[in-house]
Amino acid sequence: MNTKISKTLKIVLPLLLGVVLVWYSLSEISISQLLQYFKDANYIYIGLGLFFGLLSHLSRAYRWQFMIEPMGYKLRLPNSIMAVFATYLVNYTIPRAGEITRATIITNYEGVPFEKGFGTIVAERIADMLVMLIIIIITLFLEFEFIYQIFAERFDGHKIVYGLIAVLIILALIILLIRSSSSKFAIKIKSFISGLIEGVMTIFKMKKKWAFIFHTLFIWTMYVLMFYVTTFALDETTNIPLAAILIGFISASFSIAATNGGIGSYPVAVYLAFSIFGIAKDPSIAFGWIMWSSQTLMIIVLGGLSLIYLPIYNRKE
């Protein structure tokens, strides 16, 4: 019973959170104002953002072949592309169900054992997490003075420094406690970290590791460009600083994990990030909705077509 309740909550809570955040974002801007922003937007830049997003998804599908090949299987590119788009679409319904769908698709149509296909997806996510961490570090490095100044104006600068030092000390103590502990929780944490490290190391052992690394960097470059060029769609977000773009992108990226496909959370995350830099509320929320709506529309269309065409393309099998 507890397992059923846990599974139900994992499905229901993100949906409820999404509904609440949709209500919150729409309570901060009138529907008529939001529609006016959509009407006045420059769709050339929105289309360019969609193009960069499409390139990132195609690159992800192509990169997946490098991970399947060392296991002795050949993943056809059309199946890989359709599986990737199906993943994104299914994730709008049940969180993380898309990854299971993706592994199942290549099991059915390419004969790759489910656990092996799913293992490559986990390793892929680890690589993505590392690149996201690199983007955060680069953002802090490039815009440290600007970001610090923004926070110092709003908060006590000394408190920020002391807070960061306290966080680092607490993290160090937690790491030491986990390393020296033999409790079940500590063992699970150590096993998880060990699995992450092992997953990363397999990337460097694969035959086409440099191609894999290139496509990983390319995917995230396209993500950032997708976000950046779309800011030109609205007059109010055209000249925002680089720090706002990078922090907005990071915040929006994490929001996708909070609710199904970022429903509701994406516009709120963008608004909260942009508000740090004094960017007006209405265009911030509108930009978030334009970004999320355009990318979601692409996923719904291409993901839906992929699910329809998969059995047709593989009818001989």
| Reported confidence tier of residue 2, pLDDT bands at 50, 70, 90 | low
- Dist CA 155 CA 140 (whole Å): 18
- Dist CA 157 CA 163 (whole Å): 10
- pLDDT at 64 exceeding the cut of 70: yes
Residue 67 lies in a domain: yes
Chain segment 96-141, per-residue pLDDT in tens = 778 888 989 998 898 888 888 888 888 888 888 889 999 988 888 8
- Least confident range from 7-11, 26-30, 84-88, 186-190: namely 7-11
> In terms of residue numbers, what domain contains 262?
30-155+205-313
Sign of the CA dihedral running 88, 94, 98, 104: negative
- Dist CA 86 CA 98 (whole Å): 7
- Dist CA 61 CA 47 (whole Å): 21
Return the percentage of the chain with pLDDT > 70, whole number: 84
Residue 167 lies in a domain: no
The arithmetic mean of pLDDT across residues 9-37, rounded, is 76
Whole-model pTM: value is 0.81
- DSSP symbol at 93: T
| Reported confidence tier of residue 1, pLDDT bands at 50, 70, 90 | very low
Residue 200 lies in a domain: no
Residue 176 lies in a domain: no
Sign of the CA dihedral running 87, 88, 94, 99: positive
The arithmetic mean of pLDDT across residues 266-272, rounded, is 91
Residue 180 lies in a domain: no
- DSSP symbol at 262: G
Longest dimension (CA), the chain: 68
- pLDDT at 317 exceeding the cut of 70: no
54 or 122: whose pLDDT is higher?
54
269 or 177: whose pLDDT is higher?
269
User: What do you get for the CA distance between the two ends of the chain, in Å?
Assistant: 40
- Dist CA 277 CA 266 (whole Å): 18
User: In 3-state terms, what secondary structure has residue 208?
Assistant: coil
20 or 99: whose pLDDT is higher?
99
The arithmetic mean of pLDDT across residues 239-257, rounded, is 88
Residue 193 lies in a domain: no
Under 8 Å between Cβ of 285 and 36: no
- Dist CA 100 CA 87 (whole Å): 8
Residue 232 lies in a domain: yes
**Number of folded domains in the chain?**
1
- Dist CA 91 CA 100 (whole Å): 10
Mean per-residue pLDDT of the chain: 84
Residue 181 lies in a domain: no
- Dist CA 206 CA 200 (whole Å): 11
